[in-house]
Amino acid sequence: MYIDGDILELDIDMDLEEVKALRDFVKDRLEYIEEIKFVNEKEASPLSSALFQLLYCVKLSKPAIKMDFFDKPPYELKNYGKMYWIFHE
């Protein structure tokens, strides 16, 4: 996890404890974050679905936040193939 100005860069292979730390980190800084992106998405695979659940909640809380993996479907993961997201507002 690394924040560069208003861009939050995440490793896609975060375990549950790292996702919990991310939740606490983002909770206080959500209004300042404009974009969230993965830095190692081509080499690694998600270790927990909790990361995507958290990011989905972040997207619902702040729809203007840019997340290419949600905003530009399909999203392709190394071991899981293509993922399609449907948002109901």
Give pLDDT, residue 22. Answer: 93
Please write the tens of the pLDDT for every residue from 3-41.
877 999 998 888 999 999 999 999 988 999 999 988 876
Give pLDDT, residue 76. Answer: 65
Give pLDDT, residue 5. Answer: 78
**16-19, long-range: CB within 8 Å, 24+ apart, which pairs?**
16/47, 16/48, 16/50, 19/48, 19/50, 19/51, 19/54
Write down the domain spans for the chain: 2-83
Tokens of 35: 């974009």
Contacting residues for 71 by C-beta, under 8 A, at least 6 apart:
none
Please write the tens of the pLDDT for every residue from 35-77.
998 887 667 777 778 988 898 899 889 999 998 877 776 666 6
